[in-house]
Structure 1
Amino acid sequence: MTAERGLRVEGLTKSYGGVRAVDDASVTFRHGRINALIGPNGSGKTTFFNCVTGMVEPDGGTVTYHGRDLTGWPAHRVAYAGIGRSFQLCRVFPRLTAVENLLVAVRPGSVLRALSPARRKADVDRALGLLTRVGIEHLADVEARDLSYGQQKLLELAGVLMADPETILLDEPAGGVNPALIDRIGALVRELNAEGRTFLIVEHNMDVVMSLSDHVVVFDRGRPIAEGPPDEIRADPLVLAAYLGN
């Protein structure tokens, strides 16, 4: 029997004190598509991301990827399994250059080892190629702290791609960036999806969600309440009630 393709979560639960941030959530994301995960503030989206990617350990439930149980795996093992992610607030090494940030992303071990003179030319060439792809190749030797927030977002995306993941989770990629950069990030997502990568995107910008995604999952109070194509989600009364607080 062939293992089911894609990312599947069943009965996922995570509590902090008496609050269930994720509450018995079960959902399957469409493999090979651009999935969006939306919901009002506090609905559990980022906690769900953290459980799936090994940043926090769930209290219950299972996370499977291509039929393989990843539940409770540490973040680096999840990444090696083919799942990459970005963060709501950019995580870059501020005192490393853009190209050095990418070298650290791909080379296991210490930062010093990743930046040693013995680093492979292939790694450097790949890093420069990805900086070109996201449009910041001219900033390769600039320290990350001197980049704009939007440029740091592009750098973080290039760092995710450095590990060549099959599935990419993006946490608010349009947050805090200008409209031109939002369009650039959207174009990159479409290009990468056309090349075969699956996306799961948490995003509050509904224009981005509705124009970019193929499949939308809506969270409220820690669990999915609706899923389907963007046009159906836009008109779903449960979704409207969740956002309006009714």
Structure 2
Amino acid sequence: MSAHKGEQSLATVGLTKTFGGVAALDGATVSFRHGKVNALIGPNGSGKTTFFNCVTGMIRPDAGRTTYRGRDITARPPHRIARAGIGRSFQLCRVFPRMTVLDNLLVAVRPPNLPAQLAGARKREETERARYWLTRMGIDHLETAEARNLSWGQQKLLELAGVLMSEPELILLDEPAGGVNPALIDRICDLVRELNAEGRTFLIVEHNMDLVMSLSDHVVVFDRGRPIAEGPPSVIQSDERVLEAYLGV
């Protein structure tokens, strides 16, 4: 997987979304760098998750345009955006709680018809790939456990493994450290670094500022539905607009 780190990855122009007359995204024009670990931060209600939902096709923007590697993906359905090379996780883990850990990954690569998924999911190649990602996550010993019996942090790792089953080039992580114990946070950070070194681009929404500043190459700050600052962590930490948005100073 090639990674030309100077080029643009995901970008939006004038992205807008309102709910009940309130602008969750207010003409957001922003770009993220290919081959890098990007972060999107901002106070609660600043539009971060709405941004994720719009660019991944979960909701349709009212206006604006989204491109990925120069290709227009505006308002495409989620499955087409996924096929374009974009994968994402969610704040609340999306796993099948009564299915085994292994079957959760096999379902992730099957057609959208659930009976078809369950009937034909055990192809050798897919099973080997699923076990590979479980091993990378460090949860291969849990492959026969039901997902509901995993800890919250282990479910986050399982969800990430499910995202990786489709081999995305760009991975959007929505609060990967939320509710996770420190040891698993360290594991998630190590995985992001390893996967980035292998050529995958990341865009991370996260409230854990220590994680953001230690892990990211490029940080974008949202406030009231639009970017107010961007740059390397060293610059963002001392930006007066960022301090005002977070602290009101």
TM-score w.r.t. length of structure 1: 0.97
- Superposed, 1:53-68 pairs within 5 Å as 53-68=56-71
Structure 1 unaligned blocks of 5 or more: none
Q: Which residue of 1 aligns with 2:114?
A: 111
Distance 1:117 1:219, change over 3 A: closer
Q: Which residue of 1 aligns with 2:229?
A: 226
Secondary structure, counterpart of 2:33 in structure 1:
coil
Contact 2:107 2:121 in 1 (8 A): no
- Asked whether 1:148 is paired with 2:159, we answer no
- What stretches of structure 1 move > 2 A for 4+ residues in a row? none
- Superposed, 1:1-246 pairs within 5 Å as 5-117=8-120, 119-246=122-249
Superposition deviation, residue 66 in structure 1: 1.3
Secondary structure, counterpart of 1:115 in structure 2:
helix
Secondary structure, counterpart of 1:116 in structure 2:
helix
Secondary structure, counterpart of 1:128 in structure 2:
helix
Secondary structure, counterpart of 2:76 in structure 1:
coil
Distance 1:95 1:118, change over 3 A: closer
Superposition deviation, residue 67 in structure 1: 1.3
Could you tell me which amino acid in structure 1 is paired with residue 52 of structure 2? F
Quick one: distance in 2 between partners of 1:192 and 1:132? 14
Secondary structure, counterpart of 2:28 in structure 1:
strand
Secondary structure, counterpart of 2:119 in structure 1:
coil
Quick one: distance in 2 between partners of 1:24 and 1:39? 16
Secondary structure, counterpart of 1:168 in structure 2:
strand
Superposition deviation, residue 112 in structure 1: 2.1
Q: How many residues align?
A: 243
Superposition deviation, residue 245 in structure 1: 2.5
Could you tell me which amino acid in structure 1 is paired with residue 36 of structure 2? R
Could you tell me which amino acid in structure 2 is paired with residue 126 of structure 1? R
Could you tell me which amino acid in structure 1 is paired with residue 24 of structure 2? A
Could you tell me which amino acid in structure 2 is paired with residue 212 of structure 1? L
Quick one: distance in 2 between partners of 1:84 and 1:61? 21
Could you tell me which amino acid in structure 1 is paired with residue 78 of structure 2? A
Quick one: distance in 2 between partners of 1:159 and 1:207? 26
Percent identity for Structure 1 against Structure 2: 72
